[in-house]
């Protein structure tokens, strides 16, 4: 997996961008090791996106340029600095266009079915589920986030990173449940009355009040329905869609006002129910498949595989 940066570093400035390749390490491990080697606080190290350990990945990080001389002392097994370049601002979460994936899938039983599924994903979009890694090794991140929102005491006080992770995981679980319901109904790519629709080109949001007008735009991938990342600043839906989203909160035993306890970490947003599969390449090699594709930031390649392996 390789990040697609939102911009290239300029070559000048107070921050040093590092293009890293890592194997068997997650991004947080790398940040900790850099912090120790460069003698800078972890908070001074910029990351556009978190990458897990179960892949060969390339990504940008930024560190204060004043620590450049100490970079030669940085060593972490499985991690290599491929190049460095200065820039004027710290790299921040979300400063990337997306990610490019190259995967080898072994032992596919039905290559034709997998090809059909891959073509369908390219045409209709990839269900934009949050992947399992979002919910932690024990799968309890969302439960911990819910407890934080309800003012309950956790087994131990989370640090700032953990708090944000837990709260986001709870929002993500609710989104996944909303998406699952739309997939079950066959409407994850359909404009419904009351839907919050997201414009593909600009990211702008508006509420669907005329499905007969917006349905062709959804079919053309100009707009997509956007599900709830609950919080006080989330754009509200309307009509039956709002009723379905409210029912999710009731089932979970929380209210929209509970999300105010998360402060800036649960402000709320809309996330599209589907994302575009860009630059798709499907290359069979006997019973194996070589796949290449791009996804926007925040989307998970594991969901592409899940859809293919249902069929193949």
Neighbours of 168 (CB within 10 A): 19
Angle, alpha carbons 200-206-211 (nearest 5°)? 90
Is there a catalytic annotation at residue 214? no
Q: Which of 26, 44, 52, 143 is catalytic?
A: 52
- Report the sign of the C-alpha dihedral through residues 298, 304, 306, 310, in that order: positive
Phi, psi of 102 (to 5 degrees): -130, 115
Q: Environment class of residue 214 by beta-carbon count within 10 Å: exposed (0-12), middle (13-18) or buried (19+)?
A: buried
Residues 6+ apart with CB under 8 A from 196: 205, 206, 207, 208, 225, 226, 235, 236, 237, 241, 270
DSSP 19: E
Q: Which of 293, 285, 298, 291 is nearest to 107 (CA)?
A: 285
Give the active site residues: 52
């Amino acid at each position: 997996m390789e990040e697609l940066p939102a911009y290239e570093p300029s070559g000048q400035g107070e921050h040093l961008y590092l293009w890293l390749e890592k194997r068997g390490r997650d991004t947080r491990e790398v940040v900790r090791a850099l912090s120790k080697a460069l003698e800078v606080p972890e908070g001074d190290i910029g990351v556009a996106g978190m990458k897990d350990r179960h892949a060969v990945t390339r990504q940008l990080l930024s560190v204060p340029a004043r620590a450049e001389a100490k970079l030669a002392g940085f060593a972490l097994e499985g991690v290599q600095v491929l190049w460095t370049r200065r820039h004027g601002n710290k790299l921040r979460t979300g400063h990337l266009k997306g990610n490019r994936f190259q995967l080898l899938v072994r032992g596919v039983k039905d290559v034709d079915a997998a090809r059909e599924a891959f073509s369908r994903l390219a045409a209709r979009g990839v269900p934009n589920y949050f992947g399992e890694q979002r919910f932690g090794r024990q799968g309890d991140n969302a439960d911990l986030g819910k407890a934080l929102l309800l003012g309950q005491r956790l087994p131990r006080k989370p640090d700032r990173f953990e708090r944000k992770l837990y709260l986001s995981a709870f929002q993500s679980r609710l989104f996944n449940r909303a998406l699952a319901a739309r997939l079950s109904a066959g409407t994850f790519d359909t404009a419904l009355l009351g839907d919050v629709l997201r414009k593909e080109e600009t990211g702008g949001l508006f509420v669907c009040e005329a499905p007969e007008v917006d349905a062709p735009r959804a079919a053309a991938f100009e707009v997509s329905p956007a599900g709830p990342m609950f919080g006080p600043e989330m754009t509200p839906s309307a009509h039956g869609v709002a009723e379905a989203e409210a029912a999710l909160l009731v089932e979970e035993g929380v209210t929209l006002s509970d999300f105010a306890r998360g402060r800036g970490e649960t402000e709320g947003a809309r996330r599209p129910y589907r994302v575009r599969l860009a630059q798709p390449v499907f290359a069979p090699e006997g019973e194996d498949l070589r796949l290449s594709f791009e996804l926007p930031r925040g989307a998970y390649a594991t969901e592409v595989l899940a859809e293919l392996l249902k069929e193949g």
